[in-house]
Each structure stands twice: as structure tokens, then as C-alpha cells.
Structure 1
């Protein structure tokens, strides 16, 4: 029976190199091919990889098990994460499926997001999800941080959290004042940092600052290779199977939706008081359109 990869944050390439001496001769043929052509291998089935390297499919399956992966799908996900970190924008455009008729492209994108959701459903760490919700509920103060595309998710979670609790601060990582906001946050705040490939260095810097300031750092990311994971107190990976041109939104949006609904289902009377106050403020300041009171001219 296949074991588990000893360090899931280690690149699959490093894992292959570490096991190379212990592999069979045919296993080394596979390993050398993947080391040389990872961007080709990542799109291959077991049959295609076996035919390309002139070994049997059984050899491919044994090779994956020797590396510590539970199955070929887990191996491909690890290889996908490795390849994704090194793809430039021009290289992403050249990937299969990025070009073609607009109608075909739309259906491809929808199918890719459906596959990404299946990947999330089958591989999400449910215990980590629950622990995230627990910490958000207990934390005296929460800072939500994102930068570039990940700011989209940070804003979504930060704005949504204001509907279920107090003490939430939204921080834009690309703002030079982000460090000031972290420094001014209450002691032992919970810092939730969204980091999406291709991982802006400013977020890595802010993650290190949050740790030095004594805050609790939680990282939500799309890959086990995220460079913030090694110094986070806890992390949650929302994996995707496809290679995005810029980014895929569905998987991490589902994580945000879960966290908000989970928290909303826990707080009972306290939540109702908080939301009643919000609704009163909305009415007094005419914040939201009300179909029952508005009249069309």
C-alpha cells in the first residue's frame, strides 16, 4: 500500500530527486522524464506517460506509490502545483484550450470550474475548515489581508465577516500602510491572509510581520507549495486542477461561504443583536434599496 508524502509542502521534483536512488531502473526512467519534461507530464494519463517512457502502466502506478502518493491523481496535483508556480503569463496563454472559439472557451471554463469544485469537495481538509471557524469565532480581533487577485477573496471574507461579528479589519497588502495596520491591531489578533499563485512577495513580508508582532497567522491558499505555509500557525489549501491565466475564484469562494454560514449558525442571540443593529443603521442612513418603501417616479 502506498504511503503518504512525508512533507506535502515539498515540491514533487524534490521528492523525485530524493527517491531516485531507491527507484527501480524503470522507475528512474520515469523520474528522469518527469524531471526533464514536467510541463508535458502534468497533462498525461497513466497510459500516455507509460507509452511515452516505454514502461507499463503498472510501473507508473508503482512509481507514484514509491514516492508516497496515494494515487496518480494526487501525484498529478502535486506536479500541477509545481508547474503552476513557474508558469509566466505568456506560457499560460499558450496552454491547450486558452485559444479557440469564444463559445468553446466559455464551456471549457465552466467545465474547469466544475472539476475544480470536485477537487475541492474530495480533498478539502474538513478538520482544518472547522478549526478556522473556531478561531474566527474566538478571536478578539480579526484582520483579513490580501493583495492583487487575492484581495478579491480578502474583501469578500472581510466584508462578510462584518455581518456576523465585530472587530474585523480589512487590509490591502499592496498598500504601504498595511504594516501600520498590522502594528496597530489589538494584541494577539487573528490575521487571515489569502495567498494565491503567483504569490506576491509583499504578502510574504506581511505574513512574517504578523508573526513578529505576535498575531496568529492563518493562510488560505490554492497550493501546498505556497511560500507562506512554513511560518503560518495554520493553513487551508483549496486546490484547483486547472492552470489559471490569472486565477480561479470558485473554490476559495466556497471556503468563504462555508466560514460565514458556519459562524452564522453558531452565534444565536448574539448574532441576532448584531444584525439587528446593522439593519437599523442601514435604514437610518438609507444604505440599501427597499422595495416596500421606495416609489418609482
Structure 2
């Protein structure tokens, strides 16, 4: 059973199939311009979505809010959360911290993030991304930001063993036009971006999408602005009893994806692994005890 949605966007996606035609039109508008579309007046939102104000009021009620002001308060809370820096985050956590060892607190939080994240991942979307990454006819580029570049590098290292045609895009934006130049329609761009979202990554994904590249996004529960340019989005819980957000759940999803792609390409991957092991032996890079 799905857990209670943590964001308005999650609630909209989770309940989309149960909405009326007009409500779906409104939901599409909200998700396409999230969260800004919901921060204006109810009349402005209705006009933007080309629906009636009673439709907005009905959708807000369906999402569990007492009214439009309550709905907007939730959106503003999300917006504040996405711009919170590590010092503010640490101070808030310190005030709330229970008398429990950090190991237990961290484990409990990450476990909750894991359950919540996996309950929301659409298996069909996950399988579609695995198929995209396994498709040898498609080039794959991977990029991360200031913190998430470690996750991008991790995915790249494994994908490089599984198949060729994989590129790790550096986090510095000055060289990105050269990488965009090499992207062709049908290629795949995997982007990692979590709160405080990076403007350069949004622009990079936008241009890649204009070049008919399929964008896959790994982001947090609130959703990077890159979402509007992505065909597939993995929203991962990043809460942690720390000044820093946790990458643990995102790493688990990445590892599950690596395993799926490896299985889809096992015969070819096995051959590459055998060649790689021989190269390790010849270069003497890895310690052998026998």
C-alpha cells in the first residue's frame, strides 16, 4: 500500500487516474509549472489551466486540503524546504533531535526513505529506463551536480563495464556545449539533481530535450526543475538527521537499475567483463593472492 504522499506533486501523480478530464488538465498545468503555478490566486491558476475555479477547488479537496490557502501553504513549505541550506537544516534537526543514538536515528530515517521511495517507483517506468540504457544504438550521457556528481560517477563506472557508448559529463558547465554537440536524437541523458537545484543542469537538460534526447532524472522527493524536461523521473527520499541530505536511497535505486541493465545485456556484458579481467591481470592493477 502506498504511503501518504509527501508533496503535492506526488499526490497529483498518485491520484491522476482517478481525476476527471478537467482535473487532469489542471494537474498537468500544476506539474508542468511546479510549484509556481499554484502560488498565485485561484483565479490565475484556473485561467492558466483553462478550467473553472470550482474545478480548482474540487481538486484541492481531493488532494486532502481544507481549501486553497491550505494547499498554497503546503506548496510554500515545499519551496522553503528545497532552498534550505545545511546550517539551517542542522539547527532545525538539533532542536527536534530525540535522545537516541545517531546510528539508530539515521538508520530509521533512511529505512523510511527507502520504503517511501520504492512504494512510489513505477515498475513500468523503471523497466523502460533499463531498456533505454541497455539499447546499444543509443548513446548514454550521465551528469551530476556539486554533490550528486559522485552518484553520476558511480553509475558511469558500472555502465562503462556493461556497454560502450557511455559518457560522463563533467560537472563544470563551460564544456557542456561540446557534449551536447555529440548527442543525437534518441540518445539518453541521465541527470542527478537534488535541492538546492542547480540552474546549469536545468538549462543543460532543456537543450538536450530540444535535441530530442531522452532525459532521465534522479532527484529528491520535491523534484528538481529538470523534471519538466524529463521523460522519466525517480523521486528519492533524501531526509537525514544531518546538515547534509542522504544519498543512500538514490544509490540503491541506481544499483537496482545497474542490475536490471546488466541482466538485459548479460551475454555482451559477460564478454566485456572477461576482457576487462584480462586487462586487469595484464596491467597488474588489482592484488591477486594466488
What TM-score results when the alignment is normalised by the length of structure 1?
A: 0.71
Match of 1:192 among 176, 180, 190: 190
The answer as to whether partners of 2:239 and 2:246 remain within 8 angstroms in 1 is no
Task: Give the corresponding residue for 2:82.
Answer: 85
Match of 2:38 among 11, 14, 17: 14
Task: Give the corresponding residue for 1:109.
Answer: 106
The answer as to whether partners of 2:109 and 2:241 remain within 8 angstroms in 1 is no
Count, aligned residues? 250
* 2-structure distance, mates of 1:268, 1:257: 16
* 2-structure distance, mates of 1:28, 1:99: 26
Partner SS state of residue 216, structure 2: strand
Partner SS state of residue 169, structure 2: strand
- What is the deviation of 1:160? 1.0
Partner SS state of residue 164, structure 2: coil
Matches within 5 A, 1:126-141: 126-138=123-135, 139-141=137-139
* 2-structure distance, mates of 1:167, 1:231: 23
Task: Give the corresponding residue for 1:151.
Answer: 149
* 2-structure distance, mates of 1:243, 1:116: 12
* Larger-gyration structure (1/2): 1
Task: Give the corresponding residue for 2:47.
Answer: none
* 2-structure distance, mates of 1:143, 1:247: 25
* 2-structure distance, mates of 1:102, 1:148: 33
* 2-structure distance, mates of 1:182, 1:86: 29
Task: Give the corresponding residue for 2:287.
Answer: 289
Match of 2:121 among 124, 132, 138: 124
- What is the deviation of 1:166? 1.1
Name the CA shift for 1:94/1:162 in 2 (closer, same or farther; >3 Å).
same
Match of 2:274 among 273, 276, 296: 276
Structure with more helix by fraction: 2
- What is the deviation of 1:30? 6.5
Name the CA shift for 1:192/1:28 in 2 (closer, same or farther; >3 Å).
closer
The answer as to whether partners of 1:208 and 1:231 remain within 8 angstroms in 2 is yes
Name the CA shift for 1:186/1:14 in 2 (closer, same or farther; >3 Å).
closer
**What is the CA RMSD across the aligned residues, in angstroms?**
3.5
Q: Give per-residue Cα distances to partners, 1:98-150, cap 9 Å, x unaligned.
A: 78699733322221111111111222221111111011111431111111111
5+ unaligned residues in a row in structure 1: which ranges? 39-77, 293-297
- What is the deviation of 1:269? 2.3
- What is the deviation of 1:263? 1.5
The answer as to whether partners of 1:81 and 1:225 remain within 8 angstroms in 2 is no
Q: Give per-residue Cα distances to partners, 1:209-252, cap 9 Å, x unaligned.
A: 22233322222212353201112233222244558633211111
Name the CA shift for 1:112/1:28 in 2 (closer, same or farther; >3 Å).
closer
The answer as to whether partners of 1:142 and 1:192 remain within 8 angstroms in 2 is yes
